[in-house]
Amino acid sequence: MEYLPSKVALPQKFRAECQSNGAVGNHLPDLRSSLSPSSSVKVPPTPSRNGEVKLVSKRGMDLEGKPFAKIIQGNGGYVLEDVPHLTDYIDDLPKYPNPLQDNPAYSVVKQYFVNIDDTVAQKIVVHKTSPRGTHFRRAGPRQKVYFESDEVRACIVTCGGLCPGLNTVIREIVCGLSHMYGVTRILGIEGGYKGFYARNTIPLTAKYVNDIHKRGGTVLGTSRGGQDTTKIVDSIQDRRINQVYIIGGDGTQKGASVIFEEIVRRGLKVSVVGIPKTIDNDIAVIDRSFGFDTAVEEAQRAINAAHVEAESGENGIGVVKLMGRNSGFIAMYATLASRDVDCCLIPESPFYLEGPGGLFEFIERCLKEHGHMVIVVAEGAGQELIAETMRSANSKDPSGNKLLLDVGLWLSQKIKDHFAKKPKMVINLKYIDPTYMIRAVPSNASDNVYCTLLAQSAVHGAMAGYTGFTVGPVNGRHAYIPFYRTTETQRKVVITDRMWARLLSSTNQPSFLSHEHVEDEDEDDGMHDNSSQLADGASSGGGGAAENGNI
Ligand SMILES: Nc1ncnc2c1ncn2[C@@H]1O[C@H](COP(=O)(O)OP(=O)(O)OP(=O)(O)O)[C@@H](O)[C@H]1O
Ligand SMILES: O=P(O)(O)OC[C@H]1O[C@](O)(CO)[C@@H](O)[C@@H]1O
Ligand SMILES: [Mg+2]
């Protein structure tokens, strides 16, 4: 570990923070002195006193580690994983009173401004001996802002696949900036990341965005691939943009993180804010992503149709394929919501077709008992099985995501082939593929409210000078989360958690895990006994109660 050089000045913000707590000396690095790709500094922890918060580690542009990790420890095992601030790398930035304090709509609200010390706990299920654990900075308006209204030049970009609510987020960023902060210069970047250097921009006003939340898709357009960081930051610099709102999934947040790093490297006063978007709900730490609720609701229509078809034919089988590349949340929640689904197959839970405990045996049992059945399959499920029987092209999309083999068609054919060998059991299989339909719809009421909170939290954070963060709810409270926390892992359904167990008991489907399997797993990972594995999110190592999307 490399310790702090003793003579480097502590950046202003931490100087103030630490001096007020009396916790550490003023010997932390000026970040601009540590912007070389490999530099990394750490402050050796000093013993904590009651109630004291201290900065224990801080890295500059350590590209191999966590860029800009700002870890602050308090007593009782309290850890704040803080987000970067413009003042971390720019000295003497002026700050201004938040214009909201003169706005009659807000000034009457008691405690409208967030206390500077408010943080949100990542884990809320605790024992009396548990350490207080990881916290994130609470989102919301601050008393002081680091931008004057007429100084702000904001831009918004949407990247990756579609998701219900994209237009609502765009609308609410524009309305939040203009109505709350009096910002008039907001640009829409067309067509995703490459739009920064390859496309025109759209001037966005509250009037322009007024009705867009009623439409699916994104008025800005979106794309995959084409992330040239140097060109993007050149374009940001040329256009004198100083707030960048980036709406997208895990890939997009990784892109946002490198844009942020490049901006710091150039010493620009530009806040970079990520707004997590993913229909798959695969972004770590946050409770759930916007549009997920809508997608689950929309999926019900396909499942209902499959059920009606299955019920009406002799030995009817309805197969519905839903989105979920690596994470089966949509399939899991759509199944739990519907009650008409007899079997749900997701990428996280390998299954097999033949033999005792296999899918075919279960289908036969269902048909004998009920005369029909519905199977929901997430698009990423069973990919290894398909690859065994089909030649895998191993192709990727322009962002580098692996293109999936069509599990819906494959599974339907396999079931048909199986029953073709059993002339006494004639089946009637209907395959429904609503994949794009569930993400192309406008967001529902609850997602619209959620999108509004996200957008407003993003705007407040940027105005307050925070940067390099993703905004999102953690245990129901909106928080600012450092980029590295949302990009280092992908959230997945944990099949040893309670939520999957709830699904298994709701559908009564086989777990496809043999007893030896579970025992083997236990042997492999002696850390977990059964009780801890069955706790919500306990074995996920990520987002506490919300890790399985338990919302
Ligand atoms: N590791 C990365 N570093 C920089 N940019 C990236 C990275 N991964 C993806 N991107 C860029 O982010 C954009 C969106 O990525 P991607 O297509 O993977 O979608 P996403 O944001 O993950 O959304 P979703 O998967 O939910 O549709 C693309 O322009 C892609 O080039
Ligand atoms: O939009 P594309 O490139 O067809 O990608 C589809 C993928 O995007 C997602 O909807 C994620 O956004 C996945 O569920 C799906 O596999
Ligand atoms: Mg993605």
Q: What is the DSSP string of 381-431?
A: TTHHHHHHHS-----B-TTSPBPPP-HHHHHHHHHHHHHHT-TTS--EEEE
| 182 lies in the same domain as 99 | yes
Per-residue confidence (pLDDT) for residue 517, from 0 to 100: 52
| 473 lies in the same domain as 435 | no
Q: Is residue 389 part of a domain?
A: yes
Q: Rounded to the nearest whole angstrom, what is the distance from the C-alpha of residue 437 to the centroid of ligand 1?
A: 21
Question: Alpha-carbon distance 48 to 77, whole Å?
Answer: 10
> Residue 71: what residue type?
I
User: Cβ neighbours of residue 445 under 8 Å, at least 6 residues apart?
Assistant: none
Q: Is residue 481 part of a domain?
A: yes
Domain boundary among 441, 471, 497: 441
> Encoding tokens for residue 380?
């990423």
| 354 lies in the same domain as 422 | yes
Mean pLDDT by 10 residues, the chain (551 residues): 28 37 31 32 35 44 58 94 95 96 82 92 94 97 97 98 98 97 97 92 97 97 94 97 97 96 96 96 95 97 98 96 96 97 97 95 96 97 85 77 91 97 93 95 97 98 98 98 93 94 95 61 33 33 38 38
* Ligand with smallest separation from the Cα of 383: 2
Per-residue confidence (pLDDT) for residue 396, from 0 to 100: 86
| 191 lies in the same domain as 311 | no
Q: Is residue 14 part of a domain?
A: no
| 317 lies in the same domain as 419 | yes
Q: Rounded to the nearest whole angstrom, what is the distance from the C-alpha of residue 13 to the centroid of ligand 3?
A: 34
| 431 lies in the same domain as 464 | no
- Is 215 one of the annotated binding-site residues? no
**What number of CA atoms fall less than 13 Å from residue 454's CA on the CB side?**
35
The residues pairing with 82 across neighbouring beta strands, listed in sequence order, are 70
Q: Is residue 153 part of a domain?
A: yes
- The residue whose CB lies within 8 Å of the most ligand 1 atoms, and thus the one to mutate among 63, 159, 288, 379, is 159
- The residue whose CB lies within 8 Å of the most ligand 1 atoms, and thus the one to mutate among 163, 166, 197, 224, is 224
Which DSSP symbol is given to 190? T
- The residue whose CB lies within 8 Å of the most ligand 2 atoms, and thus the one to mutate among 277, 279, 396, 433, is 279
379 and 404 Cβ atoms separated by less than 8 Å: yes
Q: Rounded to the nearest whole angstrom, what is the distance from the C-alpha of residue 161 to the centroid of ligand 2?
A: 5
Q: What domain range is 100 assigned to?
A: 70-289+443-488
Write down the H helix ranges in 38-192.
Answer: 104-107, 166-175, 181
Q: Rounded to the nearest whole angstrom, what is the distance from the C-alpha of residue 401 to the centroid of ligand 2?
A: 9
> Encoding tokens for residue 220?
């800005």
Which residue, chain included where needed, has tokens 């059945």? 373
Residues with a CB atom less than 6 Å from ligand 2: 160-161, 224, 249, 278-280, 323-325, 379, 397, 439
| 206 lies in the same domain as 285 | yes
| 279 lies in the same domain as 161 | yes
Pairing of strands 54-58, 41-42: antiparallel
Per-residue confidence (pLDDT) for residue 363, from 0 to 100: 98
Per-residue confidence (pLDDT) for residue 58, from 0 to 100: 46
| 217 lies in the same domain as 349 | no
Per-residue confidence (pLDDT) for residue 514, from 0 to 100: 61
User: Cβ neighbours of residue 543 under 8 Å, at least 6 residues apart?
Assistant: 122, 284, 285, 286, 287, 474, 491, 537
| Residue 327 near ligand 1, beta carbon < 6 Å | no
Q: Is residue 40 part of a domain?
A: no
482 and 84 Cβ atoms separated by less than 8 Å: yes
- Name the residues annotated as catalytic: 280
CA dist 130 to 124, 219, 517, Å?
Answer: 10, 47, 31
**Where residue 181 sits, what CATH number does that domain have?**
3.40.50.450
Q: Is residue 34 part of a domain?
A: no
Q: Rounded to the nearest whole angstrom, what is the distance from the C-alpha of residue 476 to the centroid of ligand 1?
A: 26
CA dist 362 to 299, 311, 507, Å?
Answer: 23, 17, 11
| 342 lies in the same domain as 456 | no
| 220 lies in the same domain as 332 | no
Number of domains in the chain: 2
Give backbone dihedrals phi and psi of 218, rounded to 5 degrees, phi first. Answer: -135, 130
* Ligand with smallest separation from the Cα of 381: 2
**Residues surrounding ion ligand 3 at CB below 5 Å:** 249-251
> Encoding tokens for residue 81?
């994983």
Q: Is residue 78 part of a domain?
A: yes
- Is 382 one of the annotated binding-site residues? no
Domain boundary among 441, 470, 502: 441
Residue ranges with strand state E in 159-308: 185-189, 201-203, 243-248, 271-276
Q: Which of 48, 49, 42, 47 has its CA nearest to residue 27?
A: 42
> Encoding tokens for residue 130?
């548990």
Q: Is residue 42 part of a domain?
A: no
**Where residue 409 sits, what CATH number does that domain have?**
3.40.50.460
- Element of type H or E holding 156: strand 153-158
| 301 lies in the same domain as 432 | yes
* Coil vs helix vs strand at 42: strand
